[in-house]
Amino acid sequence: MNQNFVKYSALGNDYIVIDPNTSNISIDHDAIIKICDRHNGPGSDGILYGPESKDHLSLKIFNPDGSECDKSGNGLIIFAHYLYDNGCVGHTNFDIHLKDESVSIQPIDPDNGLFKVRMGKGKPAQLDDRKQPYPYLGYATTFADTTLVGSFISIGNPHIVLETDAPTVELAQSLGPIVSNHPMFQNRTNVQFCKILSRHEIQIEIYERGAGYTLASGSSSCAAVTALYLQGKVDAKVKVNMPGGVLDIEIDAELQTHLIGSSKIIYSGELT
């Protein structure tokens, strides 16, 4: 085997896929940081490591800071695309096995990288600060003298959805790291700055724990729609606008959240 990899992108959210069946690239904390470094490595928003075999479609997800990620919507779309491109799956539904759960994938137009991901049931999550009310949904919260309506949502990973009339890159880059690393969040959190455009459409800017400012995120889109849907502010089918593009989110009668999106291959390469 060699040290080959494949790079994919989903709305500018790029991941490097390392398949242990074909590559012997070492995956440890320092190696992950080096590979994701855009100046000294191939560069990416994270690494997708898997599958264990064609019979067990396991996936481990790593952030650019070397930490392991619980779940990534765009990462799952990209990994599904990789599995299809390499003959591990076909046109029928299949499951990808994460660390703590299995995620159902529906190929819609796999030749063009389009998949539907059953992300699970989003729900209000508990904060580490026991003074905060539970469930934490639609409460005014102040960070660095900025007060916004916030909802803390778990969809397999943590998200704080902050409603604002002006979700900008500057806001996400300046306030995002302050919010993400606030002690009220036990293991840090992903942050979405969200504007409601209509009952069927929203706009978000994203700061991800372990990755920083991000052009697009599937799990962030799901969390934002879930937070607003549970408050009755949007309907069950919502388009999410991000700098990288648009994703479609659907919430079914069982409150399961579904992500519909596509990815594309950027290039394949080999580490030296």
* C-alpha span between 195 and 141 (Å, rounded): 16
**Amino acid found at 132:** Q
Average of pLDDT values for 16-32?
Answer: 95
Q: Is the full-model pTM beyond 0.85?
A: yes
pLDDT at residue 233, rounded to an integer: 98
Average pLDDT, the chain: 94
Kindly state the average pLDDT of the residues 16-33.
95
- Torsion sign (Cα): 145, 146, 148, 152: negative
Choose among 178, 133, 187: nearest CA to 157: 187
Question: Rounded distance, CA 26 to CA 15, Å?
Answer: 16
Q: Is the pLDDT of residue 125 over 90?
A: no
Banded model confidence at residue 133, pLDDT cuts 50, 70, 90: low
Distance of CA 170 to the CA centre of its chain: 21
Helix pair 218-230, 73-85: axis angle to 10 deg: 130
Nearest of 158, 140, 144, 154 to residue 207 by alpha carbon: 158
156-200 per-position pLDDT tens digit? 899 999 999 999 999 999 999 999 999 888 889 999 999 999 999
For residue 89, name the pLDDT band (cuts at 50, 70, 90): very high
The per-residue pLDDT for range 203-224, each reduced to its tens digit, is 999 999 989 999 999 999 999 9
The predicted-structure confidence for 47-87, as pLDDT tens digits, reads as follows 999 999 989 999 999 999 999 998 999 999 999 999 999 99
Residues 6+ apart with CB under 8 A from 162: 141, 148, 149, 150, 179, 191, 192, 193, 194
d(CA 177, CA 244) in angstroms, rounded, equals: 20
Task: Name the percent of the chain lying above pLDDT 70.
Answer: 97
Residue 107 pLDDT exceeds 70: yes
Portion of the chain with pLDDT greater than 90, in percent: 89
Q: How confident is the model at residue 110 (pLDDT cuts 50, 70, 90)?
A: very high
Give residue 129's pLDDT.
Answer: 61
Locate 118 and state its tokens: 């059953």
